[in-house]
Amino acid sequence: MNLTSRRRLLLVGASVATLGLTLSACSSGGAQSTKSASSADCKSNTYTIAMITHEAPGDTFWDKIRAGAQAAAKNECIKLNYSADPQADKQAQLIQTAVDSKVDGIATTLVTPDALAGSVKAATDAGIPLVGFNSGIDAYKKLGALEYFGSDETLAGQTVGERLTSQGVKHPLCVIQAAGSVALEARCAGVKAKNPGTENMQVNGTDDSAVVSSIQAKLTQDPSIDAIVTLGAPIAMDALKSMSAANSKAKLVTFDLNVDAAQAIKDGKIEFSVDQQPYVQGYMAVTALYLYLKNGNDIGGGGPVLTGPSFVDKSNIAKILPFAKNNTR
């Protein structure tokens, strides 16, 4: 091959390589690429999405929600505005602020539907697509949310009640750590539906020492309690301290998961967890809004997309524990 031929071959190869790079950078119809991207790949944001929750300070559950949302935002070059407040009126204000700032989409928990109805309507009136997640499965359609991602809390509670009944449990104590939460109340109602001996107990979930002392006092007062059902992993860890102090032999089960609870399941201290997979909730809420804005997609056809209940116990904890440590499960 002479020098001229070699040069021609090199030019052809370079042209093909350039064409390949150009095609790989384009999506169908000439729209922007939807490939997963690191923040360094994002020359500009596709959309701005606000995520608003009723997050309680220091709760490991919400770290997973946020991690999932951030992963989805990173993949699609979305600007994610995350904010939270456990007080219903202040959460409503955060939604209104997102509306006023003219974001492209809103994902919000609907733990107190009546208190949030006005701000949700403001979003829909402004033409801003809004999806619910985590809480409000029975209210999101009435409020005007497009989609919902989360667990059916009544169903989840019923699965716990059935499992405890099959184990011979007669008097479970269902511990509610946040007053007025429709999701937590639905869980305990579901447990009671399948195990009529269930008794509810209200505690202040923002004060660990108060939770420990309250459960301890209840166990000491009523030794017939043969199971404790906690509705959050941090509360389960408080319940373990209460059980030790009260010399209780009750079974302990919990909703939701964190590293400590996962390790306690492996160690046999917690019977099982009912996981609603919060990482998935955060990820799907942001992804669903992106797909709706970009392509008009309607995931689930408007029906709830369930992320749970999913049991975590000794049969699968070895597989799940590493994911819990990675803050994705």
> CA 311 to CA 169: how far, in whole Å?
18
Write the DSSP assignment of 27-74 as a string of letters: -GGGPPP-S---GGG-SS-S-EEEEEE-PPTT-HHHHHHHHHHHHHHH
302-313 burial, b for 16+ CB within 10 Å, e for fewer?
A: eebbbbbbbbbb
Position 222 pLDDT exceeds 80: yes
Q: pLDDT tens digits, residue range 142-198? A: 999 999 999 999 999 999 999 999 999 999 999 999 888 888 999 999 999 999 999
Query: 28 pLDDT exceeds 60?
Result: no
Residue 261: per-residue pLDDT: 96
Among 35-39, 91-95, 179-183, 317-321, name the one with the lowest average pLDDT: 35-39
Please give the full DSSP string across 251-272, using - where no structure is assigned.
Answer: EEEEES--HHHHHHHHTTSS-E
Full-model pTM: 0.79
Q: b/e string for 221-236 if b means 16 or more Cβ within 10 A?
A: eeeebbbbbbbbbbbb
Sheet holding 310-312, edge to edge: 199-202, 172-176, 227-230, 251-255, 272-275, 310-312
Structure confidence at residue 35 (pLDDT): 39
Structure tokens that stand for 29 in this block: 């119809």
Length of the chain: 329
- How sure is the predictor about 60, in pLDDT bands with cuts at 50, 70 and 90? confident
Confidence of residue 34 (pLDDT cuts 50, 70, 90): very low
Domains of the chain by start residue, with CATH: 39-151+278-308 (3.40.50.2300), 153-275 (3.40.50.2300)
Asked whether residue 18 carries a pLDDT value surpassing 50, the answer given is: no
Residue 274, pLDDT above cutoff 50: yes
Q: In this model, does residue 26 exceed pLDDT 70?
A: no
Specify the pLDDT at position 196: 98
Neighbours of 249 (CB within 10 A): 10
Contact 306, 152 (CB under 8 A): yes
- Does 294 score more than 70 pLDDT? yes
What CA–CA distance (Å, rounded) separates 47 from 161? 43
What is the mean pLDDT of the segment spanning 85-104?
Answer: 97
**Is residue 232 pLDDT above 70, yes or no?**
yes
CA 58 to chain centre: 15
- Residue 230's pLDDT is 98
Largest CA distance in the chain: 97
Helix (H, G, I), strand (E, B) or coil at 326: coil
